[in-house]
A and B are shown apart, each in its own frame.
Chain A
């Protein structure tokens, strides 16, 4: 029977891990991820999983052990946050280029320095070119659902890329919510028995060399092949989502459009802040204002065309970024830059502005989000864009 439990985001993902029952988990504690692997280690200690749990001495070794285990033909998982993800940086690229279907939870937390344990998206955004598929979750339920789907996406023979699933540090990771779990059997059947796509290191009768020296005569082709995996990922993500919807009744796409169809202005924002924004949308709608929301779920591969199509009818758009791309155009955020690029290629002529918010866990409240919609309506009235990038909730 399916259970409905009160779980925080980290525990929800730990339960997903238990139900997936991976062969190997290698992980290192870091706030605010720690409770995920802590909870999972209880499942290991109590014999609820078959997993070999490697308590590594660093995140660099966590990802290195995941690479070794995945190349050996194991289904492999890990979890991290912030500095831990940054410490993995070198090996993130290696995992992706070796086409190893590792699944990782990244609980979003600001990068040092100064050191800060609270939520922003600078960790994930710093790894956005590493070759991983990146899926953001609004709440504990989504994180649970995304984590289970990630296994199928990563292991799909047309993809074979590692996947990181995100939820917001503390806001989602440590807040108790209602989470509906599938049954263990349903999850087991959904992810299926793992069959590695290539010979593995433990196939001793067919010795394979993993990670040779790859010079100017082949490296480029291998990178080109990696692009193919990423290019196929979008369709696979949708295919897996459709199958998951049949099983769970919960619908997932590349992004969620909330009251967007007839909206005049909209906000584009990731993760838990999208939840707050929905409440603001409802309030303003009740006042007759035509506002909407687009919450990207898949950031890598970035669904440029689909997103541009969904935004095309709007008269003004605000992107809200929980990180800064230092030195980029106007020091804007990475999500803004992607949305602008999509608009340039796939059409749409409305003004798009950026709001940097919530760095280092700075609270974002409905009144601030309302002010963003107010700004968008002002742009409609005056036809003028005063500022391309605004810092929301900072003392200047």
Chain B
């Protein structure tokens, strides 16, 4: 029987992600993993790219994973799980396995947008029945907050410091969700852990329809420079400002799964984060306007794709 996505029903499910891991308080990744594993009723096998999630949950001889789990390297979470899934298909065809098993890969934005993009693209194109989930915290947090191609424009990182001449990262983030949609795979979506029911529905669709890709915003209070308890609030603000719209592309059909009643200005999301503090100096204010214009442009394009404009 399928567990209903209600707090009451979910609270009776055994947690497959054990407490005691060493992720930072307030880290988005741990919350996301719990929601993902709670969303699925079937047995799950997980592959994990090198990154915060991997190093904080499997410090030998301990592990937080009550599901089979493999980490191989940084850039190959997708190709590793594609091998696991291929083994499953082969052994199932031979009658050596009868169970219905789901396959998930987790990677951060560094391991997904950047170094793992080729492996991800290949695995999706080949049609493995897997769900790849990117927890996007917008930088290489595990190595100490270096910029990635997911880092928002203007953000200060340790390799895009806000200096006297260059005010933080100058490029806009890569639109990876759209790139994955361009693979014409059955299911692509964007989610946020503050809207847990939306996220869990998308996980269910993803593992059912795979190959599927789910991009989830994941706050990092160390990198974003905010109090840990603001983690979910900042995820919410990313959605309410339309920096991180919640939508899905199911069999080629684009659909918003949440539309803010009133779109908040991007400053509502930027201001509480220390990484954007320098943008609020007079000499950098124009950058905020430019960032707002780019958020607007991308939002309008998304509305059109979703038939909302």
Contacts and interface: CB of A to CB of B under 8 A. Distances in A.
Interface stretch (A49-57, A144-152, A257-265): A49-57
B69 A207 contact: yes
A202 B68 contact: yes
Given A50-B93, A202-B87, A218 B72 contact: no
B122 A202 contact: no
B299 interface: no
Contacts of A56: 79, 82, 122, 126
B287 interface: no
A91 B80 CA distance: 10
A50 B68 contact: no
B60 A214 contact: yes
A201 B44 CA distance: 10
B24 interface: no
A68 B84 contact: yes
Interface in B71-127: 71-73, 75-76, 78-91, 93-94, 97, 99, 101, 118-119, 121-123, 125-126
B87 A64 contact: no
A94 B88 CA distance: 21
Contacts, number: 167
Interface size class of A (residues with CB under 8 A): 35 or more
A129 interface: no
A71 B69 CA distance: 10
Given A57-B125, A94-B73, A211-B72, A65 B63 contact: no
Contacts of B118: 57-58, 61
B32 interface: no
Contacts of B84: 68-69, 71-72, 201-202
B55 interface: yes
Contact of A54 (B62, B72, B126): B126
A64 B121 contact: no
A345 B217 CA distance: 60
A125 to B, nearest CB: 23
B93 A69 contact: no
Contacts of B72: 64, 67-68, 91, 94, 211
Contacts of B55: 213
A204 B68 contact: yes
A55 B126 contact: yes
A66 B59 CA distance: 24
A209 B63 contact: yes
B47 interface: yes
Interface in B5-64: 43-45, 47, 54-55, 58-63
A131 to B, nearest CB: 15
A204 B45 contact: yes
A215 B62 CA distance: 12
B183 interface: no
Most buried by A among B43, B82, B93: B82
Most buried by A among B71, B80, B122: B80
Given A52-B93, A211-B72, A214-B60, 8 more contacts: A55-B126, A69-B84, A70-B83, A71-B84, A202-B68, A202-B84, A204-B68, A209-B65
The 7 closest A-B pairs by CB, nearest first: A68-B83, A57-B122, A65-B83, A212-B58, A61-B79, A72-B87, A74-B87
24 contacts: A24-B86, A52-B90, A56-B122, A60-B79, A60-B119, A61-B79, A61-B118, A68-B79, A68-B80, A68-B87, A69-B86, A74-B86, A201-B69, A201-B70, A201-B87, A202-B45, A203-B68, A204-B43, A204-B45, A207-B66, A207-B68, A208-B68, A210-B69, A212-B60
Interface of A: 23-24, 26, 50-52, 54-58, 60-61, 64-74, 76, 90-91, 94, 200-204, 207-215, 218
